[in-house]
Structure 1
Amino acid sequence: MTQPVQTKIVLSDSFDPWHNLALEEFLFRNVEKNQVILYLWQNQNTVVIGRNQNAWKECRCTKLEDDGGKLARRLSGGGAVFHDLGNLNFTFILDRALYDLKKQLQVILEAVKKLGIHAEFTGRNDLTVDGKKFSGNAFYFEGDKAYHHGTIMIDVDVQKVSAYLQVSKEKMASKGVDSVRSRVTNLHNYRPELTIDEMKETLKQSFQELYGESPEPVLIKENDHDLKELYAKYSSWDWLYGKTPQFDVVFETRFPWGGIDLGLTLNKGIVTESKIYSDAMNANLIEQIASSLIERPLKSESIGKGLDVLEVNEEDKPIIEDMKTWLQTKIAEI
């Protein structure tokens, strides 16, 4: 007999991104079999970048820090986003066997529908109203656990979005727009009286309607859990910025599935270091691709073989083929 899904709603009272991402990973590490957690949280004046992105390229870091903001890096892939208290973040943390993107997104779409706003899922990871994004989503998988998190822009200061984010012209061109501000919107524009608390309530209702009744939401205060190690990780220079080596060879391009900025260090024609900065959604795959190039001669055939031996699922094979064709062409041009 199939067991009913265990549901849990967790709220954070902190606006510190390093604490909230530490709590997110803590919940992820401890999610149980047959359990789905809805975690709701907010960050103040924060730029959050994807797992494999180059902080200096994605964010005007000095300006952000001068203005009292924080840079944060998440576990998942995808692109950079700006958070302030006009934004509500959600995370579905769950047993991987229960992962169902359509159902998870339906929670958000139904919640927005309750507010009288018609929204839809478009592109690779966006929820939109009238073609403008109010929610970006990203995903992370590890072993038998998964999470899916995203933003809900209610009354975000869009001037700060363009002030702190540095989006490449190639990415803008791929979306057919010419500025960050032109492609995002706040739900406030469709329901001026909407508050964060009202959005939270409709999300809780929608979540329980789709997944089943939950116990009373758990409000976690900053000192409720021992998150020191995870907090230290998310606030560390190495995690946020990492090292930026002087590469011997740099290749850059944009595919429909994400941008690639590949740096290679060579010793006598052999790749000794490989780093890929990317906003591709599958963060682990990007790291696998980078690792596959190490200790190989910078020759088309050898690089191709390195990619061929990677064990990937069917949906990731086109990415491997794109990378293989592109790299072999670039190497031939050297």
Structure 2
Amino acid sequence: MKKAWINMFLIDITPKNHELYDPIINQSIDNYLINDLKLPGHGLICYINRPSVIIGSAQNSFSEVDLHYLSQNNVDLVRRTSGGGAVYHDQGNIIFENIISGSLKHCSDYNYFAEPILSALEEMGLKDGHVSAKSALVANDHKFSGMCMVKGKDGYAAGGTLMFDMNITNARQALTPKKRDQVTRGVLSYDRPIANLKNLLPDTYQQMSTEAFKHELLLHLFHVKHWADIPTYHLTNADWDNIHELVAKKYGRNVWNYGKNPGYQYYSSRKISQGQLHINFATTDQKISAIKVFGTSMTSGAADALEQALLGATLNSDSLKKNLAQTIFGNSKKLTQLIIEMLLKPENTHKINI
């Protein structure tokens, strides 16, 4: 039985002046659509990201993600505005977002948003697809999609990720060791193993690229035979200008993606000859009360030593210089001065909302 969302239209997010698979841009689009553009009715966006890890708004990037792996393998770290766990994306995944403006009807109703997806996949040959554990899409006792929702000012987004041909090995490597074993059972899902959709579908679809499968899926979702028959809103030049402004002010900044971690009010990052240096810290009475350091070319031992040396230090140049002298970083006047500058002129992670 065909199930469809009523009066749904596609929102064309074909890129303007950026790469098709840019996860930061793509993650920013739904925020713009919900909070700023507010197209009336029920819009749908559907896209693919290059390799990236998407973390929840309240997650700690240092504990959820293997930042060294991300740096060494050109995997982007992107923080979304909604909650939830860390999810790995690559060009074997399809992300779909229902954009609802002017109404909260069906908000939190995962079945409402899952049924048309499952119906379309059933038409394409998926057997026994259903919703499990409130927001997971499952077939053959394997999870192939997780869904989430986020409320905006006068509407919400409801969507998820369809694992069509995801590299599960890379997904495991991108997460911290304590999370990796969970991926074999479900990309931070504790109850079921995961599977790629292409292995659950007929041979015709197993031979398709992810882009080709996305195209076919949308035809089935809209119950049309030709792409031109899909009702579509095309983002305008003004829309793209607004989206790029949001990226520049918030969603594309390190202080948002790397630095807005619970318990750390301040953040600094600098490019150095060996890569990138990130420092998250909190203060009490002008002393460093909590600190986390990550350097793309720094060993975990060196980062730990730097954290231990700076914990409790008073935030003035002389005190910081004295503490840094106890570490290998004290041997470099240039690096010592850089770290002091990062600690004395940080960004406030509590003041980056726009």
Which one of 40, 43, 50 corresponds to residue 37 of structure 1? 43
1:189 corresponds to: 199
8 A contact 2:111–2:131 mirrored in 1: no
Higher relative contact order (CA 8 A, sep 6+): 1
Which one of 138, 144, 148 corresponds to residue 154 of structure 2? 144
List alignment gaps of at least 5 residues for structure 1: 248-263, 268-272, 274-334
AA aligned opposite 2:50: Q
> CA offsets per residue over residues 99-129 of structure 1, 9 Å max, x none?
3532211121112112201221111421122
8 A contact 1:43–1:84 mirrored in 2: yes
1:116 corresponds to: 125
Q: Distance in 2 between matches of 1:179 and 1:141?
A: 23
- Partner SS state of residue 97, structure 1: coil
2:138 corresponds to: 128
Which one of 206, 229, 238 corresponds to residue 245 of structure 2? 229
8 A contact 2:12–2:232 mirrored in 1: no
Q: Distance in 2 between matches of 1:220 and 1:128?
A: 37
1:238 corresponds to: 255
2:94 corresponds to: 88
AA aligned opposite 2:172: S
8 A contact 2:51–2:89 mirrored in 1: yes
List alignment gaps of at least 5 residues for structure 2: 1-5, 265-281, 291-354
8 A contact 2:137–2:143 mirrored in 1: yes
**158 and 68 in structure 1: CA distance in 2 versus 1, 3 angstrom threshold:** same
**157 and 126 in structure 1: CA distance in 2 versus 1, 3 angstrom threshold:** same
Q: Distance in 2 between matches of 1:205 and 1:245?
A: 42
2:10 corresponds to: 8
Q: Distance in 2 between matches of 1:26 and 1:216?
A: 17
Q: Distance in 1 between matches of 2:100 and 2:189?
A: 35
- Partner SS state of residue 183, structure 1: coil
AA aligned opposite 2:124: L
**114 and 143 in structure 1: CA distance in 2 versus 1, 3 angstrom threshold:** same
Shift in Å, 1:144: 2.0
Report 1:1-334 matches (<5 A): 5=7, 7-13=9-15, 14-29=20-35, 30-33=37-40, 35-95=41-101, 96-99=103-106, 100-118=109-127, 119-166=129-176, 168=178, 172=182, 183-191=193-201, 192-209=206-223, 214-216=230-232, 218=234, 224-232=240-248, 233-242=250-259
**209 and 177 in structure 1: CA distance in 2 versus 1, 3 angstrom threshold:** closer
8 A contact 2:59–2:261 mirrored in 1: no
Q: Distance in 1 between matches of 2:246 and 2:136?
A: 28
**169 and 216 in structure 1: CA distance in 2 versus 1, 3 angstrom threshold:** closer
- Partner SS state of residue 137, structure 1: strand
The alignment of Structure 1 onto Structure 2 pairs a total of residues equal to 246
**122 and 154 in structure 1: CA distance in 2 versus 1, 3 angstrom threshold:** same
**129 and 194 in structure 1: CA distance in 2 versus 1, 3 angstrom threshold:** farther
Structure of higher CA gyration radius: 2
Provide the TM-score with structure 1 as the length reference. 0.63
Q: Distance in 1 between matches of 2:284 and 2:116?
A: 48
AA aligned opposite 1:228: H
Give 4+ residue runs of structure 1 displaced > 6 Å after superposition: 175-180, 264-267
Of 190-199 and 76-85, more deviation after overlay is shown by: 190-199
Provide the TM-score with structure 2 as the length reference. 0.59
8 A contact 1:133–1:184 mirrored in 2: yes
> CA offsets per residue over residues 16-45 of structure 1, 9 Å max, x none?
111111222122221233x11110111111
